[in-house]
Structure 1
Amino acid sequence: MIILAATPIGNLGDASARLVEVLSAATVVAAEDTRVAQRLLAGLGIENRPRLIPLHEHNERERAGELVELARDTDLVVLSDAGMPTVSDPGFPLVEAAAAAGVGVTIIPGPSAVLSALAVSGLPTDRFTFEGFLPRKQGERTAALRALAAEPRTMVFFDSPNRLADSLADLAAVFGADRRAVVCRELTKLFEEVRRGTLAELAEWAAPGVRGEIVVVVAGAPARDADPEAALAQVLALVADGMRLKDAAAEVAEATGLGKRDLYQAALASRR
């Protein structure tokens, strides 16, 4: 089968006993960077020397079929450079192909920069969305942020230290300067830093330059005072466009904070 193996995002002490056990017995490892994989084996004191196959963003779709067939006969361990394979790292096309081919996929749970940053942020964790890296170009980045401006859930982003100041400035411009946010830098490493503030404050802090691995956590949009009549009209408009009433009520309820059942019943009553 295919074994997705989470690896430390900084501190080697976070490697699980199961990860060490599996790597000690592995015969084939698909790694985002084979040099990083070799350093991991050495750092964990593993003497095993499995066959290392490069699996990165430039070749993973081409190699997925070959690796799935390989995994029919032997366990294939999949490593990203740090954290969980498939989450903003190579691995998804491989898992997708394995699922389609009926090849088993299992996981060695472990470190995740997304969940680590969310947990230490102090922002709501009951509902959140992971947005990965924002676009490099400002126009595309601004458009992506505008689509998220009304998102009520806590949002988690990855970012490059070279683009962090620009990203935070754009976040402040689109979401509002006073929206709460947290920048997590070098999580689990020697110079770990968790910087909390408003988007405007964080943009100013990052302007001189920041180093390290970056995760940004941003509070969701505050609840709006929804107009029930306008929301009902929106439900009816969606239904007129062909959406099922139940789905239309759920979509508008999610966007406005109004009760799904209330909108559903109001729409039914309007038809009578």
Structure 2
Amino acid sequence: GKWHVIGITHPLVETNPLSEGIHEGEFASFHAVSSATNFKETLKEHHYFDLPKILPPKERPGEPLANHAPYIIKKDGLYYMIYGPSPLRLAVSSDLSKWDLKGNLFHESDGARDPSLLLHNGTYYVVYCSVKSVHLRKSKDLIHWSEPETIFTSNKFDPESPSLIYFNKSFYLFVCSWDGNWDGKEIQGAYQHITYVYHSKDPLNFGVDDEKQITTLQSHAPEIFQDEDGQWYISSVEWPYRGVSVDLLEWK
């Protein structure tokens, strides 16, 4: 099949100051599709073809306007999308274009955003951000979820865009950071491109601050994935360019 890219939209911001409009217009997900079936053949500038936006507000009556951080996983021939911000919500599709809303999954008093999914040994794990922390819940069906557990705590920054990866009998948590340091002059400055990587044998324990940190990467809101040949990649948005950039990822 062809490769699809789906993610948050971020229209050009022209407010003065920029900070007043930084999240305006983030109300639908973009959807782009490749013309090639081999991922390596899609790694060309402007290769992907833009399709109609997914789940704008008019298709989500009664929901908050914002439609952030969609994460999609295939189960039993259907695509399940979890998106935020809080409350985290669920939609299901058979074709990645038309979506059936399934309602709220859960909400937390300190917020829940940027969900990411991992299927491991028959259990789905969702990791997401809250204030100064990353939380995890478990499910067997993507609908009923366990109570939250805090798997990482930061006293230095607010975590963003976590990804939980299982590789070589270990778990790796990729977490972006936001420390409030932005001059408000350049839009890229509002999206810091430092990703911290943590290692643990236990997906419920990535420690506090740099206790289990193993490296940092230059990327914003990364997704970690493999192509059909097993090659690993890392993506980055808004850095080093607007849109989505992709690079090889090597495990050493």
Normalised to the residue count of structure 2, the TM-score between the two structures is 0.27
Structure number having the greater strand percentage: 2
Instruction: Find the structure with the greater CA-based Rg.
Output: 1
Structure with more of its chain in helix, by fraction: 1
